Amino acid sequence: MRTSTTGIRRARPADADPLADLFDETWREAYRGIIPGVALERMIAQRSSQWWLGATQRSRPLVVVEQASTIVGYAVYGPARGRILQAPGEIDELYIRPAYQGLGLGRRLFRAVSNDLADHGLTRVGVWALEGNERACAFYAGLGGIAIGQAVDRMAGTVLPKVGFRFS
């Protein structure tokens, strides 16, 4: 009999290489055709193992989802970085490796992060998703997020509309 365990934990320095690989895979899958090719490649290149090593040592929480000792997802979150979302807490990034999507891991990670934010008094949470990333927008709406605002990111001369979701 084979059992597979799933856990969510704080990222450690030893996770830097797997996080760099995960970032590469998830961003290529999520943003190919949305973020211009050269800009996407630059962003992926900037998130090297060295970058992730630093991220594990910053004060902003970075957690990973492990399944059978393999990192299959991550989230970065903390106090809101701006006021547009009208929420004191913010999830900056939440990604699950494509082969593991649809298994409930993203929902589980979102709940764990939201609960941690609430434990720190940040009961309303906001998150941004690029408008062209229909899967992410549907995911956040399916979790009960209310689209409360729009903004844009600019990359490589391209304007990328994004949607802000808020959760209470």
For the stretch 118-164, pLDDT in tens is 999 999 999 999 999 999 999 999 999 999 999 999 887 789 999 99
For residue 72, the SS3 value is: strand
Residue 69 has φ and ψ, to the nearest 5°, of 65, 15
Asked if 73 contacts 22 with a C-beta cutoff of 8 angstroms, the reply is yes
Per-residue exposure over 43-54, b if at least 16 CB sit within 10 Å of its own CB, e if not: ebeebeeeebbe
Between CA 124 and CA 166 the distance in angstroms is 7
Q: How many helices (H) and strands (E) does the chain have?
A: 5, 7
DSSP 74-87: EEEEEE-SSSTT--
Residue 86 is classified by DSSP as: -
Q: Which residue has the tokens 């990222």?
A: 11
Q: Where are the alpha helices (DSSP H) in the chain?
A: 16-31, 37-46, 49-56, 105-119, 134-142
DSSP helix/strand/coil, 154 = strand
Whose CA is closest to 131, among 149, 107, 114, 144? 149
pLDDT tens for residues 24-75? Answer: 999 999 999 999 999 999 999 999 999 999 999 999 999 999 999 999 999 9
pTM reported for the whole predicted model: 0.94
Nearest alpha-carbon partner for 166 in 101, 104, 89: 89
Residue 2 has pLDDT above 70, yes or no: no
